[in-house]
Chain A
Amino acid sequence: MQLDSVISPFILYGLIALGGVGVLLALPRERFSLALPGYIVGSAAGGVILLFLFFASQDPDPAAFAGPEVADAPLGVIPNPYFYAFALLGLAAAMRVITHPKPVYSALYFILTILATSGLFLILSAEFMAFALIIIYAGAILITYLFVIMLATQAPQEELVENQPEYDRLAREPVAATAAGFVLLAILSTMLGRGVPVLTMDESAFEGDQLLAQLPTRIERSLREEYALDEGVGIRPIERIAREITATGPDGPFLVDPMTRTVVVEVVNDAGDGARRTVAWPADLAITNPEGVGWELIKAHPGAIEIAGVILLMAMLGATILARKQIQLDEDAKRDMAMARSGIGGGGSRAGDSEEETD
C-alpha cells in the first residue's frame, strides 16, 4: 500500500477524524459558540496532515521519486513553500465559509478560498486559469452573491449573532453530515494513495513545438522581434515564412519544421520566386499557457464553446425573466408572515395559500 510511505493510515484517519470534530465544533450551534476551539482543532489537524506530506516529500532518497528528472536533481529536492501556504489558507478559509453564521462573511471568506486556489493554479503553471478564476469568480460571481445576500438579508440591529435569523444560527444535522463528509474524505484519501498506483508521465506527450508549428505567424512575429534587436538573426523585413510550392503556386502549407525548430523564409517579391533560406527559431521561443489553452479550446472543443455560449445566453434570459416576476402578498399573507416571524402562532404554513402573482 503506497499510502504507508507518506503517512501511516491510522494516523491519517485519526487526523481526519480530528478535523471532523473541529468542523463539528465550529458549525453554528444554539447556546454557546464553540467556533474558536473548532477552528483551532480543525486547522491543527489539517496542518499536521500537511506537515506529514511535507516531511514525506523531503525524502532524502531521490530514488523514492519515480520521476527521472527528480532523481537527477542535485541533493534532494527543494520544497515548494507556496503550495503549503496556499493549501492551508484555502482550506482554512473554506472551513470559515461553511461555519460562519453571517452570510456576508461566508462570501468574503469564499473569495479568500478562490484567491488561494488561483495561487495553486499558478504553481501548477496554469496562469490563464488562475487569472480567469480571479476575474470571473472573485470579480463577477461572488459580487453577484454579495449583492443578493445584502438584498435578501434584513439589516441586523446589532452585531450580535443572536440577532441573526434562526436558519443562519443553527446547523441542520451537524453530526450526521460531518460524519458522512469525513468518512467520504477518509475513503477518498485512501483511494488517492492506492487506487492510482503509478501514473507514468510520457514526456513526449507534451507537444509544445508541434503546437508552435501550427502557429506560423507566432514564429514569424518572434523572429521579427529578434531581428529588431539584432540584425544578424531573425528574418529581415522583406522576408516572410515560405509556403510549400504546389501545382497551383506557392500556396501549400507553411514550411515550418518543429523537429529541427527551423522555418524556411523567402524574400517577398511580386513574382513569388524570392530566394529561400532556412532560419532557426529563437531558442527561447516556447508556447505560453494562454496560447496552449486557446489552441486546445479551438482545436479540440469547438462545439463545446458554442454550447457554452448557448448556456450562458439561456441563463441570462432565464435570470432576467425570473427576476422581473412580481410577487404581491395580500394583507392576510403579510400578517401571517409577520406572526410567523415573531414566533406567535404557526401561521407561516398558511402564508402560501393567499398569495397573488402578477407579471
Chain B
Amino acid sequence: MDVFALSLAQADFPQPMHAITLYHYLLVSAVMFCLGLIGFVTRRNLIIMFLCTEMMFQAAGIAMIAFGRFYLDYTGQVFVIFVLTVAAAEAALALALVVLLFRRKESLDGTAWAVLKG
C-alpha cells in the first residue's frame, strides 16, 4: 500500500497533475493551518489575531479545493465560495468591533480586555 495511491494525477483534466499528489496539498494545508493557530494564540494584537483566523480559512480552502480536484467535483470549490463569504462578513464585523474597542482603550492589546473573561 502506497501513499501515492493518493495520486492526484488524473489524465488531462484539464491539465495533468504531474506527480503532485493529494498528500502534498493536504500537508501544505496542515502546515498553514498550524501556523495560523500558533499566530492566533501567541500574538496579542487583536488585528493580527483576526488575520491568523483568515489564514486558517485559507488552509481549509486549500484542502477543500484539493479534495474537490481529486474527486473531479465542484462541491469543494463551491464550499470555498461560502467560506469566502463568511470570511468577508467576519472581517467586516470583527474590524468594526476592533475599532470600537480601540476607541475605548487606545490599545489593540487583546489582554487589555481580559476582564471580559469574567
Binding site for B on A (CB under 8 A): 2-3, 5-6, 19, 23, 27, 46, 49, 53, 56-59, 64-67, 69-70, 73, 77-80, 83, 87, 90-91, 94-95, 97-98, 103, 106-107, 110, 113-114, 117, 120-121, 123-126, 128-129, 132-133, 136-137, 140-141, 144-145, 148-149, 151-153, 165-168, 170-174, 177-178, 180-182, 184-185, 188-189, 192-193, 196-203, 205-206, 286, 289, 292-293, 295-297, 300-301, 304, 308, 311-312, 314-316, 318-320, 322-323, 325, 327, 329, 337, 341, 348-349, 351-352, 355
Contacts and interface: CB of A to CB of B under 8 A. Distances in A.
B42 A125 contact: no
Contact of A77 (B19, B44, B73, B81): B19
Nearest to B4: A65
Contact of B78 (A97, A117, A301): A301
A167 B98 contact: no
25 contacts: A2-B1, A2-B3, A49-B27, A56-B4, A77-B18, A80-B18, A94-B31, A103-B45, A107-B47, A124-B25, A126-B69, A129-B77, A129-B80, A149-B47, A165-B108, A167-B109, A173-B42, A178-B38, A189-B27, A201-B71, A203-B72, A206-B73, A308-B82, A314-B89, A322-B93
Given A137-B84, A341-B107, 6 more contacts: A23-B35, A167-B110, A203-B11, A205-B71, A311-B85, A314-B89
B102 A152 contact: yes
A126 B6 CA distance: 19
Contacts of A149: 47
Contacts of A5: 2-4
Q: Is the interface of B mostly helix, strand, loop or mixed?
A: helix
A352 B106 CA distance: 12
Given A128-B77, A165-B108, A181-B35, A94 B55 contact: yes
Contacts of B100: 322-323, 325, 327
Interface in B26-80: 26-28, 30-39, 41-45, 47-48, 50-52, 54-55, 58, 61-62, 65-66, 68-75, 77-78, 80
Nearest to A333: B104
Given A69-B11, A77-B19, A193-B23, A172 B42 contact: yes
A167 B44 contact: yes
Contact of B30 (A78, A167, A189): A189
A312 B89 contact: yes
Nearest to B95: A148
